[in-house]
Structure 1
Amino acid sequence: MNKPIELKETYYRKDAKGALMAVDMIRPADLLEDEMVHKIMSFAKDLSAQISHFKNDPFTDLSDVDHLDDETVRKILTLGTELSSKIAHFNCHTIGDLSDFDAMLAQKHSAWWRGKKGNCTYTSVDGLQRIEMQVQTSVDLGLELRFAKHLVEECLNEWDADECLNKWGADARPEIRAIITRAFDSGKEGKVDRSELFLLLRLDIDDPRWNEAMRAIREAIRVTTSKEYVRFYERDTLEHPWRPVIIDVAKT
């Protein structure tokens, strides 16, 4: 814990560069973030220790499960279920705390403080503890993609002497055409490679049909599911590498 240090009636705390900074000079939002990070990390480390104990306890060793008696298996199952419940409870509260913190800052600044997708990092003032929240989304593509493909094919067939591709050198034009062709290649499984498709959105091509096709691609993108992941890290000093605090029975 980065406890304040009193010097000449002024309280200081170490910042992320290791220098002492007067507490009064630290932004209130940073102090709130620091308090939240330390609180969550304290629970995370305690829970990680419980998981490690469960995994390493000879009593819960399942390497020879066929020879364990029924009562022992039931006790291990009970312990595992209780631990799983703790993990779920901790994850729920952690995501709630992080979301509440974001909402508070968003209200204060009249804008979303973090990324729209929820991917963000929370760090202690001293830079020794860090929490990362990532949002993984699943995307489907709608029927607008067919319209986009039709327009793009029109462009490829009618561009006169690569007129719309002149901003790239002659050597680059075949590659640009290859990118466009690969984007709509459904492959053996009949599915479009989204990464190839999204590359098209980065190409700046001066053609109204092209721009309409890119708009259709954007409208075709539909987020179907979204899942949040929280990861925890700490380090002993600013020179040390980050060390994960694992909250996962399977990985401990």
Structure 2
Amino acid sequence: MTDLTQYRQDAKGNLVPLANIKEIDLMRDELVMEIVGKAHTVQQQMTAFKADSMADIAAFVQLSADRYDVAVGGKKGNVTLHSFDGQYRVNLSMQDTLVFDEGLLAAKALIDECINEWTEGSRTELKTLINAAFQVDKEGNISTARVLGLRRLAIKDEKWQRAMEALSDSLQVHTSKQFVRVYKRDDAGDYQLVSLDIAKV
């Protein structure tokens, strides 16, 4: 029976005897696994911090509502709390991820009709601009921000207006996520985010 403690599995899934592995490779592996272990611990702490903070804020909001005998229902979000001295601010905010349903195809068809009519015999920069808004990213997703930016264009054409209405109607909330953010007031009196992103600390 193979004593697995005397082997290490490599990236290809092969069992390599410890005796055949260079010392520097074993040291590198040990360092990586140590850092990974610490990272998992921090991740678990951050997960617990988020869950505890959201629950505490929700309980406080309900406590505040109870003082006025008011029932607070639905999703709790977009709550801002300040410390008594104003030095700290805690935000619980709701962020929706928006996607387009099949109605986007109808909107794009109407937009194409408009562009083809307007650019007939003229410059095509506008068509290029519009088509860029509908380009997909590496995951095959369309940027909702770019597409919705078309609604800000002050175009009164009736067909364009129908296209913008189709755009709005095709917009759906895909997911909603809650975020907890902590801010500290700096010497200038502005609130600065207390970053929990390891790349920014």
TM-score, normalisation: structure 1? 0.47
**In the aligned structure 1, how far is the partner of 2:179 from the partner of 2:190?**
24
Task: Identify the match of residue 225 of structure 1 among 147, 151, 175.
Answer: 175
1:179 corresponds, among 126, 129, 133, to 129
Contact 1:122 1:132 in 2 (8 A): yes
Amino acid at match of 1:128: Q
1:55 is matched with none
Which amino acid in the other structure matches residue 156 of structure 2?
D
2:77 touches 2:94 (CA, 8 Å); kept in 1? Answer: yes
Amino acid at match of 2:154: D
Distance 1:209 1:102 in 2: 50
- When the two structures are aligned, how many residues end up with a matched partner? 162
Q: Distance in 2 between matches of 1:98 and 1:128?
A: 19
Report the aligned-residue RMSD: 4.6
1:143 aligned partner: 102
The one-letter code matched in structure 2 to 1:146 is L
CA, structure 1 residues 101+138, in 2 after alignment: closer, same or farther (shift >3 Å)?
Answer: farther
Partner of 1:128: 87
CA distance in 1, matches of 2:130, 2:48: 49
Deviations 1:134-179 (A, max 9, x none): 32322221111111011111111223879xxxxxxxxxx8654433
The aligned amino acid for 2:160 is: W
- Report the residue type matching 2:183 in the other structure: Y
- Per the alignment, in what secondary structure is the counterpart of residue 136 of structure 1? strand
**What amino acid is the match of 1:197?**
V
2:54 touches 2:92 (CA, 8 Å); kept in 1?
Answer: no
Cα deviation digits, residues 186-226 of structure 1 (max 9, x gap): 46764423222111011110111111111111111111111
Q: Is 2:43 the counterpart of 1:93?
A: no
Q: What are structure 2's unaligned runs of at least 5 residues?
A: 1-29, 71-75
SS where residue 216 of structure 1 aligns?
A: helix
Structure 1 contact 179–196 (Cα < 8 Å) conserved:
no
Q: Is residue 104–residue 167 contact of structure 2 (8 Å, CA) maintained in 1?
A: yes
Alpha-carbon distance in 2 for matches of 1:146, 1:232: 41
Q: Which residue of 1 aligns with 2:148?
A: 198
- The CA distance in 2 between the partners of 1:98 and 1:176, in whole Å, is 52
1-structure distance, mates of 2:54, 2:138? 40
Kindly tell me: are residues 250 and 195 of structure 1, through their superposed partners in 2, closer, same or farther at Cα, counting changes over 3 Å? Answer: closer
Tell me the amino acid that sits aligned with residue 163 of structure 2. Answer: A
Contact 1:127 1:238 in 2 (8 A): no
Distance 1:220 1:242 in 2: 37
Shift of 1:85: 7.9
Q: Distance in 2 between matches of 1:160 and 1:80?
A: 56
Query: How does the TM-score come out when normalised to structure 2?
Result: 0.57
